[in-house]
Amino acid sequence: MKTSATTAKQSWQDNLQKTRFVMDTILLVSFLIVLAPQSTGIVLHEWLSLVFLIPFVIHILLHWHWFLSSFKQLMRAKTLRERYNFVLNYTLYLLMLFVLVSGFLVSVALFPALGIPLEIQDFWSKMHHDSATLIMPILGLHLALHFRWIKTLIVQMKKKAVS
């Protein structure tokens, strides 16, 4: 048993999995806010999308090792789950980029505020709408793949001690 003196000093920040859990929660909440421009208004939507880039990059930083070894791992992959995980993660990455790029290209507040002239094409409006719709179920599959981890971490976060 750990003494209370050692456990008191430890926080989620001392544990990689708990750090991931906290950052993932922030990522999910900020993503949900960005997904609802009808509620926030378009202007806020555009600025919040910029803020969203921070948890997004942090998510990649916290899985740096996965990305570094991903191609080597794919070559060695034995299970269907590993291959599926690879395809899903890179699909999600490219789709997220596409949502962001198309978002910038239909910007009505951000670019004008920065003084950048922009002629909005119907193509990019449709792409932003379609890709933002498509990324939601893909994210659902991403979360489904890590469902057991999420359940484990919810239990662990309730305990004070870092395991």
**CA distance linking residue 132 with residue 11, whole number of Å:** 35
We find the least distance from the C-beta atom of residue 119 to other proteins, in angstroms, to be 11
Instruction: Give 33: exposed, middle or buried? Use CB within 10 Å, 0-12, 13-18, 19+.
Output: middle
Answer for which of 149, 156, 157, 162 binds ligand HEM (CB under 6 A) is: 149
Answer for which of 15, 18, 99, 127 binds ligand HEM (CB under 6 A) is: 99
Amino acid at 98: F
Rg of the chain in Å (alpha carbons) = 19
Instruction: Give 49: exposed, middle or buried? Use CB within 10 Å, 0-12, 13-18, 19+.
Output: buried
Name which of residues 1 to 40 contact other proteins (CB under 8 A).
13-14, 16, 19-20, 23, 32, 35-39
For position 154 contacting ligand HEM by CB under 6 A, the verdict is: no
For position 20 contacting ligand HEM by CB under 6 A, the verdict is: yes
Partner touching 110 among other proteins, ligand HEM, none, CB below 5 to 8 Å by kind: ligand HEM
Instruction: Give 137: exposed, middle or buried? Use CB within 10 Å, 0-12, 13-18, 19+.
Output: exposed
Q: What's the CA angle centered on 45, arms 43 and 47, to 5 degrees?
A: 75
Counting every residue written for the chain, the total comes to 163
Answer for which of 10, 89, 157, 162 binds ligand HEM (CB under 6 A) is: 89
For position 69 contacting other proteins by CB under 8 A, the verdict is: no
We find the least distance from the C-beta atom of residue 43 to ligand HEM, in angstroms, to be 9
**CA distance linking residue 98 with residue 83, whole number of Å:** 22
Partner touching 30 among other proteins, ligand HEM, none, CB below 5 to 8 Å by kind: none
Q: Which residues bind other proteins (CB under 8 A)?
A: 13-14, 16, 19-20, 23, 32, 35-39, 57-58, 60-62, 64, 94, 97-98, 100-101, 105, 121-127, 129, 133, 136-141, 143-145, 147
